[in-house]
Amino acid sequence: MHPDLARLIDLQAYDIEAKRLRDQIAALPRQVAALDTKAKAAVGQRAVVLDLIVKEEALRRRIESDIADLRQKIVRIQKKIDAATTAIQVTSLEHEAVFARAEINRLEDAELESMERAEALEVQRTLADQAVAGATVTLDKESARATQAVARDRVSLAEVDGRRAALRAQIAQSPTGEASLAIYDRIARAKGTAVAQALNQKCTACQMMLRPQRWNDLRDNSPESESSQTLMACENCGHLLYYDPARDAPQRAAVPFESIAAQIVRSL
Ligand SMILES: [Zn+2]
């Protein structure tokens, strides 16, 4: 293996972990914003119900006032009937009274219907109150959790960034280090990751078979081999290839974040 390659593999594990942390830090406020929208929607729905309750109350006040007016009207009609002098006058006034009583009946039915609607609205108000309370509790809880998680992620990110910078500085010190880093950065920018394991004669990034000669070169660990002298790339996808004979028993256990590195390498 090329002397820079093992460090580039570790660098890639840090880069992937740093990206994961950055994505997570960016995603958490969006999740909280979605819960905030939900809480606001619940408040909006409750406002609609409260508005309907107020309208029903106003309607009933109007109905009751109309009924009171009609009752007074009937009293006045009765007085006129008592004072009437002709049968025609009496008949006409009695018609008026019948009409007023019918109108009172109609208004009383309307008031009853309004009360039934008000009862249903009270049930809706209770549900809307519960929805608002639930959404608020969830928002507060998730918001606090997100704040803590972001703070934790920032600490982790600072640590990973520190280790990345230290590792890059270490790589740069090797005679070929600057060139290796430039190649690594160029491929990582274009493809997201730069390094891929060769396994079972295949590139694990693109799954293409390697030519037998290339596969043999990759596995040749002698100092004169091509893979020890140059960074070999997959001829199909361009990822830098490495062969790790100790994949199942990692030798770089002393490297920090090895568990992450090993995990990522295994998933490639
Ligand atoms: Zn490939």
> Residue 116 belongs to a domain with what CATH number?
1.10.287.1490
What pLDDT, on the 0 to 100 scale, is given for residue 247?
63
Same domain, 145 and 247: no
Query: Do the beta carbons of residue 176 and residue 196 sit within 8 Å?
Result: no
β-sheet bridge partners, residue 195: 240
Burial code of 152-164, b = ≥16 C-beta within 10 A, e = fewer? ebeebbebbeebb
Determine, yes or no, domain membership for 258.
yes
Determine, yes or no, domain membership for 110.
yes
Write down how long the chain is.
268
Same domain, 97 and 162: yes
Determine, yes or no, domain membership for 1.
no
What pLDDT, on the 0 to 100 scale, is given for residue 244?
85
- Sheet with 195-199, edge to edge strand ranges: 202-203, 195-199, 240-242
What pLDDT, on the 0 to 100 scale, is given for residue 253?
43
What pLDDT, on the 0 to 100 scale, is given for residue 245?
80
Determine, yes or no, domain membership for 38.
yes
Structurally, the chain folds into a number of domains equal to 2
Q: How far is the CA of 64 from the centre of ligand 1 (A)?
A: 83
Burial code of 87-124, b = ≥16 C-beta within 10 A, e = fewer? eeeeeebeebbeebeebbeebeebbeebeebbeebeeb
What pLDDT, on the 0 to 100 scale, is given for residue 254?
43
Q: Domain boundary at 123, 141, 170, which? A: 170
What pLDDT, on the 0 to 100 scale, is given for residue 65?
98
Per-residue confidence in pLDDT tens, the chain, 268 aa: 898 999 999 999 999 999 999 999 999 999 999 999 999 999 999 999 999 999 999 999 999 999 999 999 999 999 999 999 999 999 999 999 999 999 999 999 999 999 999 999 999 999 999 999 999 999 999 999 999 999 999 999 999 999 999 999 999 999 999 999 999 999 999 999 999 999 989 999 999 999 999 999 999 888 888 888 899 999 999 999 999 887 633 444 444 454 555 555 555 5
Question: CA-to-CA distance for 18 and 91, rounded, in angstroms?
Answer: 95
What pLDDT, on the 0 to 100 scale, is given for residue 225?
86
β-sheet bridge partners, residue 242: 197
What pLDDT, on the 0 to 100 scale, is given for residue 259?
54
What pLDDT, on the 0 to 100 scale, is given for residue 86?
94
Determine, yes or no, domain membership for 222.
yes
Q: How far is the CA of 174 from the centre of ligand 1 (A)?
A: 26
Query: Do the beta carbons of residue 261 and residue 13 sit within 8 Å?
Result: yes
Same domain, 132 and 260: no
What pLDDT, on the 0 to 100 scale, is given for residue 250?
43
Q: CB atoms < 10 A from the CB of 214, how many?
A: 19
Q: Is the dihedral of CA 174, 179, 184, 185 positive or negative?
A: positive
Same domain, 247 and 130: no
Same domain, 40 and 124: yes
Q: How far is the CA of 252 from the centre of ligand 1 (A)?
A: 24
Same domain, 205 and 260: yes
Q: How far is the CA of 81 from the centre of ligand 1 (A)?
A: 107
Determine, yes or no, domain membership for 71.
yes
Surface-to-core class of residue 125, CB atoms within 10 Å of its CB (0-12 exposed, 13-18 middle, 19+ buried): middle
Same domain, 207 and 232: yes
Q: How far is the CA of 30 from the centre of ligand 1 (A)?
A: 35
Same domain, 123 and 187: no
Determine, yes or no, domain membership for 3.
no
Same domain, 135 and 155: yes
Structure tokens at 225: 């081999």
Same domain, 59 and 81: yes
Q: How far is the CA of 221 from the centre of ligand 1 (A)?
A: 21
Q: How far is the CA of 180 from the centre of ligand 1 (A)?
A: 18
Q: Domain boundary at 170, 188, 216, which? A: 170
Q: Domain boundary at 119, 143, 170, which? A: 170
Q: How far is the CA of 176 from the centre of ligand 1 (A)?
A: 23
CA atoms in the 13 A half-sphere facing the CB of 93: 18
Terminal C-alpha separation, the chain: 18
Structure tokens at 163: 């280790």
Same domain, 152 and 208: no
Determine, yes or no, domain membership for 2.
no
Same domain, 33 and 137: yes
**Helix, strand, or coil (residue 231):** coil
Structure tokens at 113: 């219907």
Range of the domain at 30: 8-170
CA 120 to the chain's CA centroid: 34
